[in-house]
Chains A and B, each alone.
Chain A
Amino acid sequence: MKTKTPSKLEKIIRAGHLAVTSECGPPRGSDAEAITKKAEMIKDHVDAINVTDNQTSMTRLSSLASCIHLKLMGLEPTLQMVTRDRNRIALQSDILGAASFDIYNILCLSGDHQQFGDSPTGQNVFDLDSMQLVQTVKLMRDEGKFLGGDEIKRPPKMFIGAAANPFADPFEIRVPRLAKKVAAGAEFIQTQCIYNLEKFELWMKLVRDRGLHEKVAILAGVTPFKTAGMAKYMKNRVPGMDVPDEVVKRMADVPKEKQADEGINICVETIQRLKECEGVRGFHVMAIEWEEKVPEIVERSGLYPRPVLKTDN
């Protein structure tokens, strides 16, 4: 199948393989090793590595600089970009910056509100929202134009991604919202962490009913719990997260020293079940500050070895 970009992630998806992506959070300091070490741990087990953009509004080493570090290691980064902190000038400028290093994947997000992070008294920007950022990247790539209408010399070539949260409210709008993102130009979707499988499968059914699974590659998001406390925290404290009681109970019912293993088991079982879900085209494994577990999760889920592309360009 024809690809629109040189993205390895795009090629793997279009070739019909289940894709595997993961992510690295940049450090709260300028030591690049913090990111390159994490990438070393996971690089053979994933097709692309997302770098988060000041996630939860905590100031960190920039996503773009981190992506460049990964690119220089010969890896395939996915630039996460939130519209919270930059206006349309800065967004387009950073997209070009990424393109100048041949970064081929972008994930367009609005971003958590700044009140969650270390700068609750700061301004936010939200000049564009996430869908409009998707449109912007598409315009820059496909028409070679800036939002202002001028021509771009050497336009960016980026596989365009967006996020979807099947668990946020109102539920009835979640599939229409995906349809909107697809209409805006999203080509792959990484979902919120999935713990409520029934609800996710219902969402996927509605996605299939509208044929959206054929227009966009949905990568199911998974995050292993390290402890029962983390499961409870995510259930009660993280907006838009749906952790069913039985999952929290399952974690709480095993002794403390076994909880990490149980968390991995739940994660692997989730992937195995969702491999059978029509329209799921891969997995986004977010092992937060637990990157060393990604290889095990990928292997036990039967997603290893990763496909090797014939012509890698």
Chain B
Amino acid sequence: MIVAKQKPVEEIIEEAKEYDKILLAGCNECVTVCEAGGKKEVAVLASALRMYFMNQGKDLKIDEVTLERQCDHEYLEEIRNTIDQYDAVISLACGVGVQFMAEKYMQMPILPGVDTCFMGVTEERGVWTERCQGCGQCVLAKTGGICPVSRCAKRLFNGPCGGSTKGCCEINKDLLCGWQLIVDRLTELGRLEDYEKLAPIKDWSTERAGGPRKVIREDVRL
């Protein structure tokens, strides 16, 4: 999933204070799972904002809605008939949802309510960690199923570096060394000899470096 975290409420207040009628829009997908922008978080943020502006003596109208997804036309269309009642929308979807809504409703200010962080997993309740950076050319088959791009702080393809210590990364004792994990997995798989194959120089053109990316499937296009 895409993992996000809630923005500090002070930052949201700062962005929202010039508006009188605001729609708070959550998303039922990733941000619900990572407890940053689902129905529950929308409700909590709405009361925090109402409370704050009430204390400031400001009459603010805040409505709440949580869409099935904000990265699909279909669900974003659900607010087409109501959106004009508002001065601004605070979207608690990830950056993708925020932008897709902005593209659709050209005259409406759409403010982000979360900081979008990474693609990752729920490691345990309340702890989310990164697993993939969408490099566009997956090498997991060669690295025991552990990603050197997202899990090594230096994105080394022939790690581990000299700073790997007791299973942890040189940059932080609380961070597992991705290359230790790769070596452990290759050992478990009985494929440690794969470690000695030199990883070729990466083609980063399928990654961020190549500019905004696009995937097209002619066979499923309408």
Q: Which residue numbers of A lie inside 8 Å of B, CB to CB?
A: 84, 88, 110-113, 115-116, 124, 126-132, 135-136, 147, 163-165, 168-170, 172-173, 176-177, 179-180, 183-184, 192, 239-240
Contacts and interface: CB of A to CB of B under 8 A. Distances in A.
A173 B170 contact: no
A126 B160 contact: no
A112 B156 contact: no
Interface bin, chain B:
20 to 34
Given A112-B170, A179-B196, A168 B157 contact: no
Interface stretch (B117-125, B135-143, B161-169): B161-169
A84 B183 contact: no
B222 interface: no
Contact of A126 (B155, B165, B167, B177): B155
B196 A168 contact: no
Interface in B173-202: 177, 180, 183-184, 192, 195-196, 198-202
B160 to A, nearest CB: 7
A131 B198 contact: yes
A168 B154 contact: no
A128 B154 contact: no
B153 interface: yes
22 contacts: A110-B154, A111-B154, A113-B154, A127-B202, A129-B155, A130-B158, A131-B158, A131-B198, A132-B157, A132-B158, A132-B201, A147-B201, A164-B162, A168-B160, A168-B161, A169-B164, A170-B184, A173-B183, A180-B195, A180-B196, A184-B158, A239-B165
A239 B172 CA distance: 10
B201 A126 contact: no
B204 interface: yes
Contacts of B198: 131, 135, 180, 183-184
B171 interface: yes
B212 to A, nearest CB: 18
Contacts of B192: 176
A163 B199 CA distance: 18
Contacts of A128: 201
B153 to A, nearest CB: 5
A26 B161 CA distance: 24
Given A176-B195, A184-B198, A126 B163 contact: no
A163 B160 CA distance: 12
A112 B204 contact: no
A171 to B, nearest CB: 10
B159 interface: yes
Contacts of A180: 158, 195-196, 198
A192 B164 CA distance: 13
Contacts of A88: 201
A192 B161 CA distance: 12
Contacts of B180: 169-170
A179 B167 CA distance: 22
A129 B196 contact: no
